[in-house]
Amino acid sequence: MADKKGKKRSALGRGLDALIVPMVTEEARDDFILCGIEDVYPNKEQPRKVFNEEALADLAASIKENGIIQPIIVRRRDSDTGAYQIISGERRWRACQKAGLKEISVIIKDVSDREVLQLALIENIQREDLNPIEQAEGYKKLIDGFMFTQEDLAERIGKNRATIANSLRLLKLPDNVKEHLSDGRVSEGHARSLLALHSKSDMDSVLKKTLDNGLSVRALEKLIKKLNEPKKKKKPDAVKERQLKHVENDLINHYKTKVRIVKKDDSGRIIFDFYSNEDLIRLVELLTK
């Protein structure tokens, strides 16, 4: 197939490594074409969900002044929404729209749905500009969808397994905490600390305190440690215990049998022991006089 300049594009590899184009060199210029920006549409499976508008505006201003240095990677699609689906480079495509460009340079790759998802996830994760929840969801999709182990994934993206495990734990957080983490109101350190709490109500309460008072991660950890400490049983009042024992002894002396007073807060029971039918009759007669 020829591009708009009439030059034949070079053969493109199908491996994932062949899809990543770090910069456009003179030798690679014949690999990309210009197409209408309205002919390109994003991939709904893209792991990035949040785009910083201020950063997009800065990138758009740079593109206006210098043009787009790195083309986006697409695949050809038969779609009502456009001719090409973005594999990598949605942020640049959005910035080009803001900059008012009518055309955009693209590199066309022939890849499967599976390869598109894998590339989009890995490319975004390696750039390290996803928020912590997007990153954790990206890890989960790679593990669930491509049967990676945490060790496989760690090796593939150049991170250690503990980093991935800690990231995946963030998906156990309630939705409101994940929302605060996604928009940057709490840090990943705060969020991981909140996982140590045992109930959502405690988590909500501590989260509010963290936001209201601007608690550091260390201060939050101390607060959570205190909340999780076992509640110490209240020691009985020594004076009241002696008084109760005195009353118990008076009852024993009066009724001539073993008597126990079992007290809890302001209520309790008085237990009389008897050892024969005659003993029972005797106690009843004494108690009903």
> What single-letter amino acid sits at 65?
E
Given the structure tokens 């495509």, which residue do they identify? Answer: 93
DSSP letters for 137-187: HHHHHHHHHH---HHHHHHHHT--HHHHHHHHHGGGS-HHHHHHHHTTSS-
- CA neighbor of 107 nearest in space, from 120, 88, 123, 124: 88
- CA neighbor of 138 nearest in space, from 155, 159, 123, 158: 123
Tell me whether residue 90 is one of the annotated catalytic residues: yes
Annotated catalytic residue, options 27, 38, 90, 241: 90
Q: Which two tokens stand for residue 108?
A: 């066309």
Q: Catalytic residues, which ones?
A: 90
